Chains A and B, each alone.
Chain A
Amino acid sequence: MKKIEAVIKPFKLEDVKDALVEAGIEGMTVSEVKGYGRQQGHSELYRGAEYVVEFIPKIKIEIVVSSDEYVDIAIKAIQENAKTGKIGDGKIFVSDISKVIRIRTDEEDAEAL
């Protein structure tokens, strides 16, 4: 099984989620993260003190899938829907998962997804 982690721009979440669900991937876990990279941050101004905010709000999506086929489907859905073409669109990382359990039913691995 594989885990796909994608860091994307927050306002793209809705589109990416819809595309994933449409592609048959019906489970995911998202979290709010902050990214540092080439994308420039902005600056905040409080009574003349200017603070550069270097970490930019991003959304991290985690998806665990049972087969390489689904990995490709997921990547495609994310790539197509998270892209704006501007710096800061984010990255996709793929890694291995050795075991999955569904807590409710005790089902394991592919069945648990």
Chain B
Amino acid sequence: MTAEQAIFAIAGPICVIAAANAVLRRDPLTAALSLTVTLFSLAVLFLGLGAPFLAGVQIAVYAGAIMVLLIFVIMLLGVSHVEMPRLRRPALQLAGPLIAVALFGVLAAAILRGGLPPASGDTADGSVDALADLLFGRYTFAFEAASVLLLAALVAAVVVARKRSTEHEWPGRR
């Protein structure tokens, strides 16, 4: 058993269980915490896959920033937003799992039928240097575009969440 196999064997199940927990819990806070576990276990898997820097980013940015923000909002809005315990719109509650099973089934079938190009024997240089070369070389434009995207998202978030001082009378139909 290689290290990678060991990592997969441990982190994989944790990841799935946490993910399932995140999806099944009615309480968003618990779900968020479960998701964080998933994120951590994914970071471990990334390590096993030879992408240590990404693992770091996953923990720092994803788990660290995004999830914190999410949890902050959950707390901000109060715990009262726990979903109602009763089963609502049962058709949809049934459709969810069904879709998931179908989705996984189809995807698994596709994956298991193989046909992928052969794996390259060597391993890539996963160092930060190499990453930086790519990021500021081939992917410069994407990088810049992503920065514009973040700016746009910022503005969008501000605009939509900003509290209006004066509610304008809307001239449309109610």
- Physical interaction between A and B: no
Question: A residues engaging B (CB < 8 A)?
Answer: none
Question: B residues engaging A (CB < 8 A)?
Answer: none
